[in-house]
Amino acid sequence: MKPIGASAIVDRLIVEFTDASTLLFAGPARLERALPQDRAIVDILMASRELFLHSLEQRISWRPILADDRAVLDYLVARMAHQPAEQARVLYLNTKNELLRDEIVARGSVNRVDISPREIIRRALDISATGLLLAHNHPSGDPTPSASDVALTRDLFQAARLFEIALLDHIIVARQGYYSFRAEGRL
pLDDT digits (tens, 9 = 90+) for 161-173: 999 999 999 999 9
Are 86 and 50 in a shared domain?
no
Q: What is the extent of the structural domain holding 91?
A: 64-180
Asked if residue 108 is part of any domain, the answer here is: yes
Are 139 and 172 in a shared domain?
yes
pLDDT digits (tens, 9 = 90+) for 120-148: 999 999 999 999 999 999 999 999 999 99
Are 90 and 120 in a shared domain?
yes
pLDDT score of 29: 85
pLDDT score of 3: 53
Number of separate helices (H) and strands (E) present in the chain: 7, 5
Are 35 and 99 in a shared domain?
no
Are 74 and 30 in a shared domain?
no
Sequence-distant contacts of 145-154: CB under 8 A, at least 24 apart: 145/172, 145/179, 145/181, 150/186, 152/115, 152/117, 153/181, 153/186, 153/187
Are 141 and 163 in a shared domain?
yes
Domain count, the chain: 2
pLDDT digits (tens, 9 = 90+) for 76-123: 998 899 889 999 999 999 999 999 999 999 999 999 999 999 999 999
Asked if residue 186 is part of any domain, the answer here is: no
Asked if residue 185 is part of any domain, the answer here is: no
